[in-house]
Amino acid sequence: MRRAFAGLDEVMNSAPVMPVIVIDRLEHAVPLARALVAGGVRVLEVTLRTPVALDAIRAIADAVPEAIVGAGTLLNAHDLQAAGQAGARFGVSPGATVDLLRAARAGGWTFLPGVMTPSEAMVALAEGFHALKFFPAVPAGGVEMLKAIGGPLPQLRFCPTGGISPATAPDFLALANVDCIGGSWLAPRPLIEAEDWDAITALAQQSTRLPRG
Ligand SMILES: O=C(O)C(=O)C[C@H](O)[C@H](O)COP(=O)(O)O
């Protein structure tokens, strides 16, 4: 079922870290979402990287209304439509094509397009998007690159993702143009496989205490 999209500010600013989630087994979706919410992390990006991802989004949207579940790894308009039908309340992509940007805009999506260069950021901005995922954050120049982009393009807000750890997170969160960061470390595969939900709640709690700039 299609749900109302979340507000952009809610998605970008509810917590310092947005977990990037890969779900292999559908039965893990709801307990994982509950564990993260219990730790104070409500905005969840479920990547469309596994066959159960859309069903996982649907299950979380139905069973965990406190969560704001979004879809990651959106590559094209078809992915957007499927994610919307499953109940995703926002979308994230690793990169952006003009087709994808226009489909997100036409669908009224709360959408964070992935960019890694000033030119890509300018294309996203020209298509109406000013809140962007900076991916892959560390290989693409990390903190220094974001500072440099902030000079000529101060109107852009970023969620850097890719290669960030709890140790380096504060450096990113201190930047004036960073609202939140993305990270897979809040939902590590070994803990999900072990169904160690308490450990995931503890990771989530720790992430909410990270200082923001
Ligand atoms: O799946 C997607 O759509 C992506 O864009 C990739 C993820 O954002 C990164 O894989 C997360 O990076 P790590 O925190 O370094 O693991």
Domain residues of the chain, as ranges? 8-204
Question: What pLDDT score was predicted for residue 2?
Answer: 78
Ligand 1 pocket list (CB less than 6 A): 20, 47, 49, 72-73, 94, 135, 161-164, 182-184
Q: What's the pLDDT tens digit per position in 68-120?
A: 999 999 999 999 999 999 999 999 999 999 999 999 999 999 999 999 999 99
Model pLDDT for residues 166-202, shown as the tens digit of each residue: 999 999 999 999 999 999 999 999 999 999 999 999 9
Whether the predicted pLDDT of 156 surpasses 90 = yes
Mean pLDDT of all residues in 144-170: 98
Nearby residues of 24 by Cβ (< 8 Å), 6 or more positions away: 50, 52, 189, 192, 193
What are residue 105's DSSP bridge partners?
none
Q: What is the dihedral of CA 29, 45, 11, 206, to 10 degrees?
A: 80
Rounded to whole angstroms, the Cα distance separating 25 from 199 reads 18
Q: Compute, in angstroms, the gap from residue 55 CA to the centroid of ligand 1.
A: 20
Confidence of residue 152 (pLDDT cuts 50, 70, 90): very high
Tell me the best of 132, 168, 184 to mutate to test the pocket of ligand 1, counting ligand atoms within 8 Å of each CB and taking the most.
Answer: 184
CA-nearest residue, atom 2 of ligand 1: 73
Torsion, Cα 157 158 159 163, to 10 degrees, reads: -170
pLDDT the model gives residue 212: 82
How far is Cα 81 from Cα 163, in angstroms, rounded to an integer? 29
CATH architecture for residues 8-204: Alpha-Beta Barrel (3.20)
Instruction: State the average pLDDT over residues 148-160.
Output: 98
Confidence at residue 99, expressed as pLDDT on a 0 to 100 scale = 98
Q: Per-residue pLDDT averaged across 119-141, rounded?
A: 98
Q: Is 72 left (phi over 0), alpha (psi -120 to 50) or beta?
A: beta
Whole-angstrom distance, CA of residue 5 vs CA of residue 191: 30
pLDDT > 80? residue 1: no
Residue 5 amino acid letter = F
- Assess contact for 11 and 90: CB atoms under 8 A: yes
Q: How remote is the CA of residue 203 from the centroid of ligand 1, in Å? A: 17
Q: How remote is the CA of residue 162 from the centroid of ligand 1, in Å?
A: 5
User: If pLDDT is split at 50, 70 and 90, which confidence band does 32 have?
Assistant: very high
- Which residue type sits at 190? P
Whole-number pLDDT of residue 3: 84
Work out the average pLDDT over 130-149. Answer: 98
